[in-house]
Amino acid sequence: MVIRTGMIGLSDGNGHPFSFSAIINGYCDAALRASGWDVIHRYVSRRDPADFGVGDLKVTHAWTQSKESTQALCRATHIEHAVMNPEEMVGEVDALIIARDDAESHATLSRPFLEAGIPVFIDKPLTLDWKTLDDFLPYLRDGMLMSCSAMRYAMELDGVRQRLTDHGELKLVRGTILNDWARYGIHLLEAILALLPSRPVGVSPLPARHDSLLITLQDGTPVIIDALGKAPAVFELELIGDQCISRHSLLDNFTMFRRMLWAFFSMVRDGGPSIPPESTLDIIHTLIAGKEALDRRREVAIHAIR
């Protein structure tokens, strides 16, 4: 049975509505090329036709802030209905994807759908606001809401997931990414915290000209994340143990996006969370604590920031 799915976007510099819709629906080569999202066109055009499709999901409705962008999205990814207002989708779709990464828009956009019992995926970061997080919590726990960075599902980390103990005692975990902490730190938080068994307890700013933070875990493992600001695209992760050192470039966007969308499909189909709610809470708590640590220039204990 087709799960009619709505797609909401767009954010500056973020083509997720195009990439997510193309992975689910397939795409029109000429229209996607003409849309201006060259990076997305390059990586989807390298894939075999068998790589497209995500369970029973089908993107049937779309809305962006621009009528022209909505029409371009529909042409590029075979979406039948372009709507003038997101709430027109209520009652017409079975699931919703909010593919915008401006956290302040997420509560307003998602509320009509969540209140109508429609499962929602929200692009990262879910929120940077405590009150909004409290409002979202029942939906996370009920399997009605999923939000994450796709780097949680990076193919390049499959070997580490299977053999983390090969590293022995972890001496240091380090991640490096472009842009700022508030918007992009969550990528590496998802990749790292989903790998490690211990939970975060505190965040400290480190001296640097960019956003640099030390995250301490309950077992004492130090995690350092550097968000370099304006820089060439970099998504790097390094795990240093007393038995093994491994380094990973997280580059396969198509696979991580497709895996994430499959996890959303599983949530919609099964009616339960695909990601443990406590994991999402740990990540958002750490993201907010990191923002406060940078603002205050001092260590922030995660349990004490509410």
pLDDT one-digit tens code per residue, 39-77:
999 999 999 999 999 999 999 999 999 999 999 999 999
* 240 contacts 174 by C-beta, under 8 angstroms: yes
Task: Give the integer Cα–Cα distance in Å for 255 and 155.
Answer: 7
Which residues have CB under 8 Å from 71's CB, separation 6+? 82
- C-alpha closest to that of 259 among 162, 147, 153: 153
Collapse the DSSP code of 225 into the 3-class scheme (helix H, G, I; strand E, B; otherwise coil) and give the result: strand
**8 A C-beta contact, residue 100 and residue 147:** no
pLDDT at 156: 98
Which tokens go with 250? 């997280």
Residue 113 pLDDT class (50, 70, 90 cuts): very high
Closest CA to 78 of 57, 100, 50, 96: 57
Domains and CATH numbers, the chain: 3-151+255-274 (3.40.50.720), 155-250+285-304 (3.30.360.10)
Residue labelled with tokens 């087709």: 2
Beta bridge partners of 217: 200
Q: Which amino acid is at 86?
A: P
- Average pLDDT rounded to a whole number, residues 189-216: 97
Distance CA 215, CA 146 (A): 24
Instruction: Look at residue 89 in the predicted model and tell me its pLDDT.
Output: 98
- What is the reported pLDDT for 1? 86
Q: What is the pLDDT of residue 303?
A: 77
Kindly report, residue by residue over 250-290, the tens digit of the pLDDT. 999 999 999 999 999 999 999 999 999 999 999 999 999 99
- The predicted pLDDT at position 13 comes to 81
Confirm if 59 and 80 have CB atoms less than 8 A apart. Answer: no
User: Please, which residues have CB within 8 angstroms of residue 48's CB and are 6 or more apart in sequence?
Assistant: none
Q: In this predicted structure, what is the pLDDT of residue 224?
A: 98
pLDDT tops 90 at residue 300: yes
Residue 167: band (very low, low, confident or very high) from pLDDT cuts 50, 70, 90: very high
Tokens of 306: 């509410």
Output the pLDDT for position 142: 97
Contacts of residue 107, defined as CB under 8 A and 6 or more positions apart, other chains included, come to 127, 132, 135, 136
- 140 φ, ψ to 5°? -60, -45
Q: Is 78 exposed, middle or buried (0-12, 13-18, 19+ CB in 10 A)?
A: middle
The pLDDT of residue 210 is: 97
Nearest in space to 83 (alpha carbons), one of 106, 111, 60, 57: 60
Length of the chain as a residue count: 306
Q: State the pTM of this model.
A: 0.96
Confidence of residue 304 (pLDDT cuts 50, 70, 90): low
Structure tokens at 93: 């779709």
Q: Which of 94, 117, 87, 97 is nearest to 2 (CA)?
A: 94
Tokens representing 112 are 């009509």
Q: Are 56 and 269 in contact (CB under 8 A)?
A: yes
At 94 the pLDDT is 98
Q: Is the pLDDT of residue 131 over 60?
A: yes
Q: What rounded mean pLDDT belongs to the chain?
A: 96
Residue-wise over 215-225: b if at least 16 C-beta within 10 A, else e? bbbeeebebbb
